[in-house]
Each structure stands twice: as structure tokens, then as C-alpha cells.
Amino acid sequence: MTVDATVALERVPRLSARFRLQYETAQNTWVLLYPEGMVKLSPTASEILRRVDGKATIASLVESLEQAFPGVDLRADVIEFLRIAQDHGWIEP
Amino acid sequence: MDGSSPERPQLPPPLWLLAELTYRCPLHCAFCYNPLDYTKGGAELSTAEWVRVLREGRALGAVQLGLSGGEPLVRDDLEELVVEARRLGFYSNLITSGVGLNEKRIRAFKDGGLDHIQLSFQDSTRELNDFLSSTRTFELKSRVARLIKDHGYPMVLNVVIHRLNVDHVPQILEMAEAMGAEYVELANTQYYGWAHLNRAQLLPTREQLVRAEEATNRFRDRVGSRMRIFFVVPDYFERRPKPCMNGWGSVFLTITPDGTALPCHAARMLPGLAFPNVRDESIEAIWHRSEGFNRFRGDGWMKEPCRSCPEKTRDFGGCRCQAYMLTGEAENADPVCDLSPHHHVVTEAVERAREPIVETKPIMFRDDRNSRRLAGEAPVQESV
């Protein structure tokens, strides 16, 4: 693991105030809502973003996900998704 | 997708609910897409009726709510509707000219859970803003822009673009930047309603548009992700039609002030189609089983060249209202498509825009007097 990744694991991501995360019963899916638009989230993306509460570090997100889905090493996937989410402006570092 | 069966079990929900709360408006914009005969509609829905529309729409899966008009701030129950929308889980968008917004009301909207305010400007100059809207509102809008920022809302600025302001796009973008706008919609005029009536005065030349788009791209390069700019392409200058409403009755549900339910805000112009009213039927029945909503779902209604066209799944044959307005038949291909035998009506309009405007016909502002005249309730006597 590189030094950068270690530092990243201690970061606390939070959802951008420009987006609202909610579950849509009619579509059976989690969505991100923003002015006049919506992103439908994949099951994986939903599991990660639901845990982004502005308090949990990335390390504790990974831990929580690995408890929910035992036997899988999720760290790289989580870090990669959070990078994409940040590029889209969904989360802030 | 096969559209031959009118009642498909997999019908998607109306994700976008546009509530046109009133046709009353303090502005008189010459490019308004409201119907010419807007004065003819029935009484506005009551607060209780709108609440029922919101509840039934949300139960069906609607999630984005547009609070529009006319000017929605004219309704003094807007605060109440905002609270109900938030309680139901809508993402609510107030689409406003800003007239009627003050400290007290915006605070109530924020506390009530309104998610976003889209503010319209007509131009970057007071003179043209006030001329196009036929009001003195430029200074007021500038104050409202500050209110919106001060209350922590993302600032979405909407400017309808046409021949008279298209050369001001660089200044409009600078104004947006100075206001701290996060999003800017440069909405090239779509020619419906009052905009269609005033098309000769509003349609820009292709050269003007190219310059405006180049200016927009240069601005984007400079500001980066700080400001997102949408340059809504004017379809008259395209060779393929827009996928209007993302397909008839597939995403959009508009409720007009008197409760008429429409698959798009212009659809009431189509002849021989009965559109249901929320006073008579539930939103569920309207979306799933009404003739008006099923009429152009799928592709069973299409004629050539759309019927055998591989692109029909992408653009759905374009816009039914435009096909009707420009060819006389709603089933025809949208004549924006260069495969349409009627495409020349669009290219001819664009060609005519190159000629200097001869004042044979004055611009018609959207107001009650002109609406009644155009609806045949008073003699048409064009004067400005």
C-alpha cells in the first residue's frame, strides 16, 4: 500500500450539499437528486454512499462493508468509487 | 420496445411532475411557451386539489417536482405546497422570474424544504431585460439573485436566448459569474406558444448561434467546473429532431393550472385529442389508461420515414407539437429531421432569419389582452 492510500483511508467524505440521497420505492433503487436531475445508483454505489455520513472515515466505511459482505476485499473498489464520486461532485473530501 | 399495446405492464413512472400552478404572471415575455389562449382555461386548482395531485403523483413514483406557471409566486399557498412536497420526498424546483420573492418567503421555502430555485433573466442589460418581459424587473431580479445566494441555495440562472440577445452571451455569462451562479442554462428558444407567434423576430441566424456557442466554450475553458453551463441546442438548426420529452408519456407529466394533465406543456394544441383532468380522474388512471397519454406511446402511430427508421428508438420521431404546427399533422416526422419531406419549412425559416427584419408584424407580448384576442374572444388588432 502506498503512503497516499494510507492517508486517504483516514479521510472523512461527506455528501455534497448539492445532492440528496434517497431510496425510491417505485424504482426499487437508491438515487442522488440534484436540480432538475437524478442519478440512479447501482447496488454497489448505493451500499457505499448510504454509509457516507460525514462522520465515518474511509477505513471505517470499508470495515462496515466488509462486515456486510464477508469474504471480499473491498478496499480498492471503495477507494476507486469514492474517487469517481468526488469527480462527479457527489461527495466532498 | 413494442408500443402496439396501449397498456403495458412495464410502463415507467412519471419521474418529472411539472405543476403549472397558475397562468397569472407579472411578466409578459414575448417568447413564453404558455398557450396563446391561456386566458381560456378553467378555475385554478385549490390547495387541497394540488396536495392530492402531489400525493398521487409521488405514489406513482414521481420524484422531481417543478413548481412553475405563469409565475408560481403569485400563489399564496406556495409555502404550504413546498412543505407537502418535502414531506412526500419530492426534490422540488421553483421555476421563477423572481417577482414576488422576498426575505420572508425565501426563509419559509428554506425551512419548508424547497430544494432549488431557478431564476430567469431575459438579458444582461436592464434595457433588453425590461423590454423583452415588458416590465421593469432587472434591478429586482438582481436583488433576488443575492437573496438566493444568501440562503444557501445553488444558483441556477436561466436565460432564454434568441435573435435579440444572442450576441450578448459573453456578457450574460459574465453577469452569471458575478452573481456566483453554479449552473447557467442558455436556453435557445423553442418555438411554441408565444415564441412561435413571434418567430420571425426571435429566430437568430446560424452565424449568430455559432458565435454564441464559441463564446460559451471559451468561457467554459476559463471557469472550469466552478460554473456548469448548458447550451441548449436550438433544434431548428439541427438535422435530427430532439427526443422530445424523452418519449411521449414516458417521463413527463404536466398539470396545468385548471388541472388538465398533459404529456408535455404544449400538447393541448393537438387537435382531436382529449386530455384528462385531475378533477375527474386519479393520476394513476391518467398515466396508465387515458387516451391522451397512450396516443403517441411506443411507435405504432408512426408514419414513414419514422416507421422504418433505425433512429426511431433514439428520437421517437421528435416532437408531436412541432410536427403538427409545421406540417399540419401530429403523426408526421418532426420536420427538423432532414429525412422528413417537410424539412424545407424549417430550413426556409432559418434562411429567412438572414434577412434584415422588416417590421411587417410587431412583436406580440404575452398578456391577457393579446391572449383573449388570439383566442377569438376579441378582435385581433395588433398594436404595441
ipTM of the complex: 0.85
Weakest-pLDDT range from B136-140, B289-293, B330-334: B136-140
Residue B270 near residue B262 (C-beta atoms within 8 A): no
Mutating which of A22, A33, A36 best tests the B interface, going by the most B Cβ atoms within 10 A? Answer: A36
Contacting A residues, span 2-31, partner chain B, CB-CB under 8 Å? 17-18, 20, 22, 24-27, 31
Among B86, B71, B75, B10, CA closest to B46: B75
Q: Is the pLDDT of residue B155 over 80?
A: yes
Sheet holding B155-161, edge to edge: B228-232, B183-188, B155-161, B116-121, B91-96, B64-68, B16-20, B252-255, B261-262
pLDDT surpasses 70 at B3: no
**Set of chain A residues whose Cβ sits within 8 Å of the Cβ of B115:** 20, 33, 35
Query: What is the reported pTM?
Result: 0.90
CA distance to A88, B200, B374, per residue, from B38 (Å): 41, 22, 10
User: Between residues 89 and 128 of chain B, which touch chain A (CB distance below 8 Å)?
Assistant: 89, 91, 93, 115-116, 118
The residue among B17, B55, B63 with the most chain A CBs within 10 A of its CB, best to mutate, is B63
A33 contacts B64? CB cut-off 8 A: yes
How far from chain centre, in Å, is Cα B39?
A: 18
Residues B333, B334, B339, B343, Cα dihedral to 10° = 120
- Model confidence pLDDT, tens digit, residues A55-66: 999 999 999 999
Q: Name the more confident of B1 and B95.
A: B95
Walk me through the domains of chain A, giving residue ranges and CATH numbers: 3-92 (3.90.930.60)
pLDDT digits (tens, 9 = 90+) for B302-314: 999 999 999 999 9
Which of chain A's residues have a Cβ under 8 Å away from the Cβ of B154? 18, 35
In whole angstroms, give the CA distance from residue B212 to residue B218.
10
**A43 interfaces chain B, CB cutoff of 8 Å:** no
